[in-house]
Structure 1
Amino acid sequence: MSQIVLNIGMLLGGLGLFMLAVGIISDGLRLAAGKTLRHILGRWTRSPLHGLASGIAITGIVQSSSAVTVATIGFVNSGLMTLYQSLGVVFGANVGTTMTGWLVAMIGFKLKIELFALPLIGIGMFVRLLAGQRRIAHLGWALVGFGLFFIGIDVLRQAFEGFASGIDFQQLSSDGPQALLLFLAVGFLITVLTQSSSAAIAIILTAAGGGIIDLNDAAAMVIGANLGTTSTAVIAVVGATPNAKRVAAAHVFFNVITAIVALIILPFIFWLISLAGDVFSLKNTPEVTLALFHTVFNILGVVIIWPMLVWLSAFLEKRFMTHQEIESKPKYIDKNVAVSPSLALNALTLEIDRIVGMSKSLIKAVLGQTKGTTLLLNEKYEALEKLANITGEFISKLEKGTLTSEVKTQLSTLILAQQYSLSGAESALEIAKDQTLLQATSDSHVSSTLEDYLAEMRGVVGQISEQSLPTQDTDFDDNIQHIKNRYDEVKAIMLNAAVESRAPIQTMMEVMDNIKKVQLMTEQYCKANYQLNKVKTYLMS
């Protein structure tokens, strides 16, 4: 009973260390990011082929595809590497990890990467403490994360060592596809339990070399062990960014496709291995055969999936999308409508309409005095800003073509609508972060005046957005004047409250600063909507 409790404790501790390490690696890499690091990463992974070579080489050195995959996820999570660049590294890591099998098969030695864990932590902390606030300090923190990563894996391995080594493989052996699937599941389970395909491969090769299991069963276990490495990537992306989840999904996709193909053509691969063994004079032992099998089917997986790389990247880009990402993607503009100025103007108007609507949503949320929404508002603003950047690039491309003077005028008007929307949304964020307008004062007249003012401005925003086309210039002028008049009235009340000592002067100064932002924010939305409606009116004529 005490041994079971100890194993459970080691399991929980190992998982905790593992998750902590992933977080530290991601944070360290993100904070250490700079032009130099970006340049190095760009050169190493400037194409999937370079990434493939890097993945193979680095994994062959560190003897852990999990570490390379998690590091890649960390780079993508930190924005240092694109999804497309990372695919080559992930696939290369799968090929590079087969080096362990060769070490076991050829020299009977497995490099213990865990021995580097404590030195990594020591060196990392040494760098972090001595570097102070310099960027290299964060790189030291990332080294600490890698050290904890290896310790976490080692603790997990120890927790399940007795379980993995205690499986009686002879009782499982039988003929038929069911047996292959069963041994595949066993290989998968060993990797999941030990969190190391290298350890699983070593166990399998040792068992096959000792005659405990036959070659076909061992091959199925190798496929399962290879598939089991996906569990590390899946665990690593819990709570991570969508891009990190896409990298993990690519890793899973590669391993699943590779496993299916390897199982289907297993006899052919063994024939190919036998032929290669004769050509290269390799030892005809189960260990060498399995090591070569492990390498061959991973290379085969790369060959099969490589032509699909662009499609896979595009497919994954559309998965695991957050609401913010969905909002920031254009719905109407693309390269197809760009060829026709009239179609482009229509599509662009619809896109700017979305931007004005997103700005309205931000402004109304702030005027509604909803507490605890600053993070959500930040995400909405980032989505708005990204979409505005895309529409801005689209307009720039249009302006390089041949356009009529009327279309140029409408594009300029849409640019104004977009700029007003961004300005209004930015003011909304500033107000939300300040929170001064939410502070209660002891003076009921001041509080009620502020509440009425914010409610009225919220109503103005709603009323403006519902105005029918065509918009009259007089309506626009009246709205702007009303917003200014109300600001002057509320400002006078705040000043009187401060002069008469009914509220602290400093508080009233901050409140007046924010009601000025409310005025400007509401005016900016009014102007954005007005400019947008001018283009809509033109398109209707």
Structure 2
Amino acid sequence: MLDILLNQTLIFGLFGGLGLFLFGMKIMSEGLQKVAGDKMRKILSALTANRFISTLVGLSVTAIIQSSSATTVMVVGFVNAGLMSLYQAIGVVLGANIGTTITAQLIAFKITAYALPAIGAGTALKLFSRNRKWVYAGEILLGFGILFFGLATMKEAFEPVKTSVEFRDMFLLVGDHYLLGVFIGAVLTIIVQSSTATLGITLALATSGIISFEASVVLILGENIGTTITANLAAIGTNLAARRTALAHFLFNLIGVAYMVAFLPIFMNLVDMITPGAADFVIETQNQAASFGGSVGDKPFIARHIANTHTLFNIINTLIFLPMIGILAKLSTLLIRGKDVEMEYHLKYIDSRVLNTPPIALGQARAETRRMAQMTLEMLEGTIEFLADNNDKSIPALEKKEEAVDLLQREITDFLVALSQQSISQDSSKDIASLMHMVNDLERVGDHCENLWRLGLRRKGEKVTFSEIANAEIQEIGEKSKDFLSFTVQALERQDKTIQEKASFMEEEIDQLEETFRNNHIARLNTSECAVDPGLIFVDMLHNFEKIGDHTFNVTRAIIGQK
């Protein structure tokens, strides 16, 4: 038995095949995300409190990215950011469990013979095509081919153990002891962090004739529990709602597996009814028949049975729990007690847990950038008000906003740098560069606001008085700067790329005001209407407002796509 387990062909084939399987899944998933990135954002934006729509969203997104773990991790991130309620999140998770079964259905088709041609065609498209869509199609095809080649490699690796009575007896225990099989399936999934990978191992064992359909079913049930661990690990360090979402996912699958094990014979009969062929029908070889009385050989129908088992379990479980989402939410709230303490300034949208899903990560970065822009506008409005009334009670709030803008600039930039290192499309790469320019220019606007209120504090501390004309001019250029930034923030919200002409006009208007008011000041100096000390502060204020206009214009260029 030990010699069998230590067999070099088995070890190398299993680990190499599993590595190819996981790598193929990754490439295929990334290709699908690049093709369907915009669709994913639109699907997620359709979320409502309606449990059926939330479930359809979860199903659709998971079908697109081919990973329920990725979907649930995204959902945990959204709940943590306050973008999604616990009620909505549970609906998405229910749908994700059905969506992930599409992979199993694809794998169950007898197309492993086409793995190498798919790899060849996919590589050719990826390396030699000039059209981005064909490149992405090549990635999908390449990933698909590598995935099936890995599956075939794992199946071939089990050939040496097919003649081992001890190895077969060990797996007979799984069929006889359901809870042991569930435990093994869950542990394997936790180790490889992919229920699809564990499903691939199960398919390789089953189609090779090593394990029975009954043993396959309990392993699959265990895999459904193991896949929930990823989301629970991602929820560590998040807020209460996010941890409750991850727990709800675990409870949903755990309870589902519990009642399914209790009614396993009925469930297996249902799968047999909807699936053609006998699950444990064996195509025997002459040597196998002689050695084992015809009990060992390949099973041609079991792959489809396994895929249907996976799909049917999740459909039944979802239909049962769909009317009980509220109860599931209350149960997870009961088990994880407490109340979240809201921070005034913190990252709200971006979450590093979704970096492996670039379209979603890019959407989060945009949302955080819009929030940063809004906060910068509020800081400019507060600064203009302070310069008008000289009430320094507003300074602590302005300082907090300035710190928050600095924080957002650092965090968004770090997030975008990490995102740029993922496998992303050319369009996404351009969007990342534009967002980096935006956050840097918005941070510079914040710096100039800080300069302005510090000049105001200096004016107040030194008891410097502006003439009425000077005060009016500061307010006028301030209002123009505010209007320009407000116009830009609204354009950013709408993703309006038709703003170039108006943005150029507004920026030029601020430049002309700065030049006119500076010349007016020089004229007042010459006629002794204005003193030197107030004049220095006045000119510095004009300069800062002019710079705010310049950086705001840079933001508009980034929105248009010129930066």
TM-score range, shorter chain: 0.3 to 0.5
TM-score, normalised with respect to structure 1: 0.44
